[in-house]
Structures are given as structure tokens and as C-alpha cells.
Amino acid sequence: MQIETMQQMLAIVTLSLGALLIAIIFNAYRIVRQPTLLYFIYGLFTLIVGITFADLISVFTPDAFTALWSAVFSRIVVVLGLCVMAYGILRG
């Protein structure tokens, strides 16, 4: 039970630190106006949502079926986020 609580707290911390990082990068984008940074922000947002999605779903619905499919969806979103970040960097 304590491990699940710690995972949920770490998911919330990860989400908040990710939001802070996105805000900092967005301020840099507003200064330089490079599309590479914008794609990187999109990918980072998708990556952070993917990382924290399964843990945040387990906070609201402790059902095993929902937890399983949220973990699968989370991994798919993480892969998409990494692909968007790689595309933004390679496009740059």
C-alpha cells in the first residue's frame, strides 16, 4: 500500500516538474521562434503525459482492467512523444 502511494506522489511530482520544464522551454521558444523547440515541447508534453498517465489513472480508478489498459496506452504515448521529439531534433 505504501509503494502505491509513493508511486502516485512521484507521478504528481513528475507531472508538476514536467509542466515547469515545458514552461521554461516555451519561454525560450517565444524568444527565438524556432520550430524545433516547438516540436520538442509537443514531444516533451506527450512524453510527460505518457509517463504519468498510468499512475494517475490508478489514483482515480483502482480497477485492475483499467490499470492494465492505462499502462498499455501509457507506453504507446511515451513512444509517440519520443518520436515527436526525435522528429523535431532531426528536422532542426
CA neighbor of 84 nearest in space, from 54, 60, 50, 53: 50
pLDDT value of residue 82: 94
The whole-model pTM stands at 0.81
56-86, pLDDT tens digit by residue?
888 888 788 888 898 899 999 999 999 999 9
Domain spans in the chain, listed from the N-terminal domain onward = 34-92
Distance separating alpha carbons of residues 92 and 80, to the nearest angstrom: 18
